[in-house]
Amino acid sequence: MTFHIGQKLVCVDADFEYYGIVDLNLPVHLGVYTVRDVVTGRGVSGLGLGLLLEEICNRAGPYGTEYSFVPDRFRPVVERKTDISIFEKMLTEENVSANLLRPTMYGGS
**pLDDT of amino acid 21:** 65
What's the pLDDT score for residue 51? Answer: 94
Question: Is residue 60's pLDDT more than 90?
Answer: no
Please choose, from the candidates 104, 65, 76, the residue with its C-alpha nearest in 3D space to the C-alpha of residue 2.
76
**Each residue's pLDDT tens digit, 97-107:** 666 666 666 65
Residues 19-35, mean pLDDT to the nearest whole number: 87
Q: Give me the half-sphere count of Cα atoms (radius 13 Å) on the Cβ side of residue 67.
A: 16
Taking alpha carbons only, the member of 67, 73, 60 closest to residue 44 is 67
